[in-house]
Amino acid sequence: MALEKTKDNIKNFGQRVPGVVLNDGTIVDGNRRFTCLRHLRRDHGMDVLFEAIILDPKEGLSDIDIKRLELNLQHGEERPVDYNPIDNLVDVYNDIVVNEYFTEQEYVLNTNKKLPEVKKMVEKAKLMVEYLEFINAGGKFYLARDLELDGPFQEMVGILKNEKDEEERIRVTDMLFTALTISKNKDLTRYIRRIGNDILKAPNREVFLKEFDDIVNDVADAFQGKEKIDLEAMRQLNSKMKDLRNEAASLIDRRADETAISRAKMRPIDAFNTSLKTLDTIDMDHIGRLDEKNREEFIRLMVRMRGMLASFEERL
């Protein structure tokens, strides 16, 4: 755990890098170091102080200046910080979408990130906000962090980029949110990927979505009807919806298995098509110019191919 590593390092060697704080006590850089020092004082009785550079906003520093400094310190190339990915999404959402401190391009200039990465983070952040609203927990970002939903959101962004129709996108989003919320699967990232690859890209997609509609409505009603949603409330609701969870899992498994069986049946045809495309690349003129040795090898391969085709016909 990163916090424990930092605490052990400070305990053994002291605070090597100062933090940055505003004169009202707001920590711009060094939250983890400050937390570690508090724990060392509380748990080990160490006489420690938080060493920091103090900034005064009255000296011409705007909110954007402070945020830019925070980004530069946190994402500088020489000192990357391994923050929780959900915390990163929250920062991106607040800085770019809510407060509009930066455009996506300006965010790139102030962090060690590429523009496509920032764009994807914004998409994931918006999806996270949508999800929390879906489960009636708007603004409770800690739920996404505690449930480790960064991976599933990553998969969903890839799935939803293929949904060009807005109504269909909403329908698929709600289905994915529902599957995520009541899933019994421990590997949620792989679970969402399986739905995307083995159901939403398959011929039985529409049948599945229609079958899943009632489950979506029941789950949405259950969460929206709850006054307070936290981890404990989610556990209680999932416990009460045991039959619904089993129904959803069974439906997803059944439709995904259908796709797997269908793809397995198509493999011989796919292989045959690939072979024909390869044969189409053979230049007839080159065949006529083969020397004796290569001509014999070519004939040998044709004889072998005729034998394989004869075997296929017998099997049919």
Give this prediction's pTM. 0.69
To the nearest whole percent, how much of the chain has pLDDT over 90?
Answer: 45
CB atoms within 10 A of CB 199: 23
Sequence-ordered strand ranges (E) for the chain: 19-22, 27-29, 52-55
pLDDT in tens, 225-251: 988 899 999 999 989 999 999 999 999
pLDDT at 82: 54
Give the chain's domains with CATH numbers. 1-61 (3.90.1530), 62-274 (no CATH), 283-315 (no CATH)
pLDDT at 83: 66
pLDDT in tens, 99-118: 999 999 999 888 878 999 99
Task: Show Cβ contacts of residue 258 under 8 Å, excluding neighbours closer than 6 positions.
Answer: 202, 204
SS3 135: coil
What phi and psi values does residue 55 have, to the nearest 5 degrees? Answer: -110, 145
- Residue by residue, DSSP assigns 98-113 as IS----HHHHHHTTT-
CB atoms within 10 A of CB 49: 8
Written as one letter, the residue type at 221 is: D
